[in-house]
Structure 1
Amino acid sequence: MIVVSLGGDAHRAVLLGRARVGTPEDAAAWLRGEALRLAVRLDPGPRTRWAAPGLVHPVRGPGPDAPTAMRAWAECPEQVRGVRALLAQGHPYTRRFQDPGGSWYELTAAPAENAGDPMNQPSPDVPRCEATGQVTQIVAELAMDVTRTAGAQPRSRIRCALAPHLTYEHQGIVRELSGGGGHVWGTFGAAVPVWRVRVAPPCPHWAGAAPCGLYDDHPGACVPARTSEPA
């Protein structure tokens, strides 16, 4: 089974978590744990260990409250049993929690054959992060020196090769390598030039709906490479 958590608004959706689990019981447990994880990060409770006593206290505002709804859903045994039963019958399950301003958080579980698994299906229409970064002279020299593989000259400016993501780090291709050698990838931030480079293969063609596993600390989902535009 595939289990997924998403967050978004009227303009875009962002992958927050994704896993493959074995049984409906595992899927329901993952969704419950993910709901509590997101709720705590969005709205820490008064007993949060990192906060001094009295620093965090309940405040009730108008409109929907996604963290409270996620806590209530996760702590309701009947809800969790219902999810397990639905999944055991081979049906998918989706639950969306609305927040003020049109933002939302969504939990989904489905049998792998019905989940639109991005591990097996290309996603050619994934939106792309619009961030761009500058490649300084010292970084360009580093991109030349970091590998002995022949390739193109470093670019002076790169575009993020990820789908829209929540982290402050962006990834782009500083230098194309020859003969299947991959790319020299660069890490940059908002108004911050490329500060790190590494050699890695191109993102897999199926990427776009989940972190592609290019390397361990990859910050987001890749967009499939298109030869008609620079990465």
Structure 2
Amino acid sequence: MNRLPEPRRAYHCDVIAEGAVYGTGEPAVYVLATTSELSPRRALLWICGQARRIADRLDPDPRSSPWARPVTGTDYGNRSDGPTGLRAWADDIGGHRAVRDQLKTGAPVSFTVDDGVNGTFRLAIWPMTVRPDPAPEIRADRPLRVRAYTDIPHPERY
């Protein structure tokens, strides 16, 4: 007798932005990107790529952008810098090991960065249990039946 296959995990990833709509001040939530991956490593790689993508769209990285030169000596006060926080999280290799270990145990992971001007950005990964469909039961004492659907009539029926 066949048993049900062991459940597997898939990892759902979301990138969400929350902030006020320009001109009205009403809060709004935007889903920027979403995907599902089959391993915690691939989920983390995808979410880190999204963090870098958002950071580069908000404020190009002066280290990698040929046209943006570094600004030195500028004091921005206490305003939080979202792109720098996103890049720092995406480049934190030691922290990624802890995140992968946490995902392997089945716990969700979420990272939120506040950018004073543009709102907040939340990157989230959570494991989902996926149970594949059971395989058909094959027994030696019964012939295997195969069903095929076609427009051609069966020769034995006519």
TM-score norm. by structure 1 comes to 0.44
2:49 matched to 1:33? yes
Percentage of matched positions with identical amino acids: 28
Letter in 1 for 2:19: D
Aligned residue for 1:74? Answer: 90
Partners of 1:45 and 1:57 within 8 A in 2: no
Bigger radius of gyration: 2
Aligned residue for 1:99? Answer: 115
Aligned residue for 1:109? Answer: 125
2:22 matched to 1:12? no
Aligned residue for 2:13? Answer: 3
Summarize deviations over 1:165-199 as a string: whole Å, max 9, x none. xxxxxxxxxxxxxxxxxxxxxxxxxxxxxxxxxxx
Question: Does 1 or 2 have the higher relative contact order (CA < 8 Å, sep 6+)?
Answer: 2
Q: How far is 1:112 from its partner?
A: 2.8
Gaps of 5+ in 2: 1-10, 21-26, 130-158
2:104 matched to 1:88? yes
Q: How does 1:1-231 map to 2 (within 5 A)?
A: 1-9=11-19, 11-49=27-65, 51=67, 54=69, 57=71, 59-61=74-76, 62-101=78-117, 103-113=119-129
Gaps of 5+ in 1: 114-231
Task: Measure the CA separation in 2 of the matches of 1:57 and 1:44.
Answer: 12
Partners of 1:96 and 1:106 within 8 A in 2: yes
Q: How far is 1:49 from its partner?
A: 4.2
Letter in 2 for 1:38: I
Q: How far is 1:41 from its partner?
A: 1.1
SS at match of 1:8: strand
Q: How many residues align?
A: 112
SS at match of 2:44: helix
Task: Measure the CA separation in 2 of the matches of 1:48 and 1:77.
Answer: 19
Q: How far is 1:50 from its partner?
A: 5.8
Q: How far is 1:86 from its partner?
A: 0.8
Task: Measure the CA separation in 1 of the matches of 2:64 and 2:48.
Answer: 19
SS at match of 1:44: coil
SS at match of 1:12: strand
Letter in 2 for 1:57: V
Task: Measure the CA separation in 2 of the matches of 1:103 and 1:89.
Answer: 31
